[in-house]
């Protein structure tokens, strides 16, 4: 993609931008503390994904978060604040830092829009050296954020201001970026390289891997029968390579097109690594004091015809094994919300969430949220849900540590955003892949409960791997 040259009328915006920055600097002088000035500018209708795949330069931190069905997308790049945390208190440390920075934000002009602070967490509180491109917990605020919500598109420019900050260069840089985005025109999508054609073939696991996974399911069923567990989620990582580099500009548009009911995400790490995916699972969403979360567990493939699809859905709704798996997730989420002082509301029995190649049992859960309750406190209390770990949580996580041969990293862990006004959106990083140049690691898992069949669970893992395998080519 290419970007049209900036328009020559960019600079007349310099003066109002400079005045806004002076307002922010006066606050910094009054408080004798650094402030974050957040400036908003209306834009023509843009595709934030096209912006993200075009404007950032090599090495800049990047983040993308999109819910196609809600008409919302956020492209963010160029780190202004980039902090990492590890250890058992990583959620609390990230929360403390977030609240400190939020208190220093001044939106100019005064409006309830942005900035968006992005947070990501790994499944466990440590990571192996192989995943050094990411941290167990990250708080990221970028200089530039292009936000589309339905028919409105906005640039949010964030700057750090101290009493000594030189404002003129900042104002000029912001004015130039506004002009560049107002003139933004992505070039026609190039013809895909040979070997990048889409395929509907399921990824093939080697016979040793198949046997190992089947044995793991049987061992888990033994632990369940011995009443050591009620549920265990087993995960598998499939490592693949290409002669040429894996490309987000190919994978992300494919994911968006093929999985419009999922959250499309991309988070950059060090050494040109990216964690990308199409997750169907919302951990929590907070809008104007109302929290919504999802119990999502129990899976079945889609049918080739309407009649077959309906039959598979009805079978999913009425299979005791799938019902038990779903109920464990629902009960856990309800307990955690009640422990936080909330009154969760939901309907029974569960419905179906139908995606392009798979369908799940689905129960939305809502609750009114007290103003003083932090979104990150709720994220900590909900992670990991039985949908990605098991029941009881501690025993399930210990078994994951002992039995899984690869570090889950950011797989099945929370990632999302928080704004200064109490709004937030976090998802669970499933149906995901870690890509770095010619290498990619694809993740998928399956929940094991009493009555699980090893062959069916293996088929479920392969079905979930298909989403990323097809997108990556």
Q: Is 455 a catalytic residue?
A: no
Q: Is 106 a catalytic residue?
A: no
- Residue 1 has a pLDDT of 30
Residues 6+ apart with CB under 8 A from 356: 258, 259, 302
- Residue 272 has a pLDDT of 84
Question: What pLDDT, in 10s, does the model give residues 244-280?
Answer: 888 898 999 999 988 888 999 999 998 789 999 999 9
Q: Could you tell me which of 274, 279, 278 has the C-alpha nearest to residue 62?
A: 274
Q: How far is it, in rounded angstroms, from Cα 246 to Cα 172?
A: 36
Question: What pLDDT, in 10s, does the model give residues 370-398?
Answer: 877 899 999 999 999 999 999 999 999 99
Q: Are strands 35-43 and 105-108 parallel, antiparallel or unpaired?
A: parallel
Residues 6+ apart with CB under 8 A from 102: 117, 418, 420
- Tell me the residue length of the chain: 473
pLDDT > 70 in the chain, percent: 92
Q: In this model, does residue 460 exceed pLDDT 50?
A: yes
Average pLDDT over residues 43-52: 94
- Residue 127 has a pLDDT of 83
Question: What pLDDT, in 10s, does the model give residues 122-141?
Answer: 999 988 765 667 999 999 99
- Residue 285 has a pLDDT of 94
Here the tokens at position 454 are 């090893």
The active-site residue, picked from 231, 322, 380, 425, is: 231
Q: How far is it, in rounded angstroms, from Cα 463 to Cα 473?
A: 15
Q: How far is it, in rounded angstroms, from Cα 229 to Cα 310?
A: 33
Q: What is the CA radius of gyration of the chain?
A: 23
Question: What pLDDT, in 10s, does the model give residues 142-176?
Answer: 999 999 998 899 999 999 999 999 999 999 999 99
Q: How far is it, in rounded angstroms, from Cα 272 to Cα 293?
A: 32
Residue 381: is it exposed, middle or buried by C-beta count within 10 angstroms (0-12/13-18/19+)?
middle
- Residue 110 has a pLDDT of 64
Helices 207-225 and 454-472 pack at an angle, to 10 degrees, of 130
- Residue 4 has a pLDDT of 34
- Enumerate domains of the chain plus CATH numbers: 11-182 (no CATH), 207-472 (3.60.120.10)
Question: What pLDDT, in 10s, does the model give residues 216-236?
Answer: 889 999 999 999 999 999 999
- The CA distances from residue 429 to 88, 210, 269, 360, 411, in Å, are 20, 24, 15, 16, 5
Cβ contact 40:113 at 8 Å: yes
Predicted TM-score (pTM) of this structure: 0.91
- Residue 207 has a pLDDT of 82
Tell me the sheet residues that pair with 238. 442
pLDDT tier at 426 (50, 70, 90 boundaries)?
A: very high
For the chain, the first-to-last Cα distance in angstroms comes to 20
The active-site residue, picked from 281, 325, 457, 460, is: 281
Min mean pLDDT across 31-40, 60-69, 106-115, 337-346 is at: 106-115
Q: In this model, does residue 212 exceed pLDDT 90?
A: no
């Amino acid at each position: 993609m290419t970007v049209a040259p900036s328009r020559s009328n960019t600079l007349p915006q310099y003066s109002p931008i400079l005045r806004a920055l002076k307002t922010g600097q006066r606050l910094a002088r009054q408080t004798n503390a650094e402030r974050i000035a957040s400036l908003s500018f209306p834009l023509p209708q843009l595709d934030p994904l096209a912006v993200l795949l075009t404007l950032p330069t090599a090495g800049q931190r990047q983040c993308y978060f999109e819910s196609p069905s809600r008409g919302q997308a956020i492209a963010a790049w160029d780190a202004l604040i980039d902090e990492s945390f590890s250890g058992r208190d990583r959620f609390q440390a990230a929360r403390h830092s977030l609240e400190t920075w939020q208190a220093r934000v001044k939106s100019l002009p005064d409006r309830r829009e942005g900035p968006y602070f992005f947070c990501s967490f790994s499944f466990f509180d440590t990571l192996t050296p192989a995943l050094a491109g990411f941290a167990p917990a990250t708080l990221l605020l970028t200089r530039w954020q292009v936000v589309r919500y339905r028919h409105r598109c906005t640039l949010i420019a964030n700057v750090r201001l101290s009493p000594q900050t030189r404002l003129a260069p900042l104002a000029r840089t912001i004015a130039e970026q506004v002009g560049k985005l107002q003139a933004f025109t992505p070039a026609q999508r190039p013809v895909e390289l040979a070997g990048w054609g889409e395929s509907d073939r399921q990824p093939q696991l080697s016979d040793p891997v198949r046997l190992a996974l089947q044995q793991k399911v049987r061992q888990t069923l033994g632990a369940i029968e011995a009443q050591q567990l009620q549920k265990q989620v087993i995960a598998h990582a499939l490592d693949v390579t290409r002669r040429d580099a894996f490309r987000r500009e190919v994978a992300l548009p494919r994911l968006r097109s093929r999985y419009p009911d999922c959250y499309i995400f991309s988070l950059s790490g060090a050494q040109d690594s990216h964690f990308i995916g199409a997750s169907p699972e919302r951990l929590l969403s907070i809008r104007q004091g109302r929290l919504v979360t999802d119990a999502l567990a129990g899976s079945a493939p889609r049918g080739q015809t309407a009649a077959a699809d309906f039959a598979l859905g009805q079978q999913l709704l009425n299979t005791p094994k799938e019902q038990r798996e779903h109920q464990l997730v629902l009960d856990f989420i309800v307990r955690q919300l009640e422990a936080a002082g909330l009154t969760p509301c939901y309907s029974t029995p569960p419905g179906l969430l139908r995606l392009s190649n798979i369908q799940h049992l689905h129960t939305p859960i809502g609750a009114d949220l007290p103003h003083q309750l932090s979104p990150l406190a709720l994220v900590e209390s909900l992670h990991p849900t039985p949908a990605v770990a098991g029941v009881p949580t501690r025993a399930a996580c210990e078994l994951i540590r002992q039995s899984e041969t690869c570090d889950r990293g950011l797989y099945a862990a929370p990632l999302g955003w928080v704004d200064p006004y109490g709004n937030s959106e976090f998802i669970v990083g499933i149906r995901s892949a870690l890509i770095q140049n010619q290498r990619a690691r694809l993740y998928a898992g399956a929940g094991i409960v009493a009555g699980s069949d090893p062959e069916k669970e293996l088929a479920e893992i392969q079905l979930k791997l298909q989403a990323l395998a097809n997108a990556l080519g």
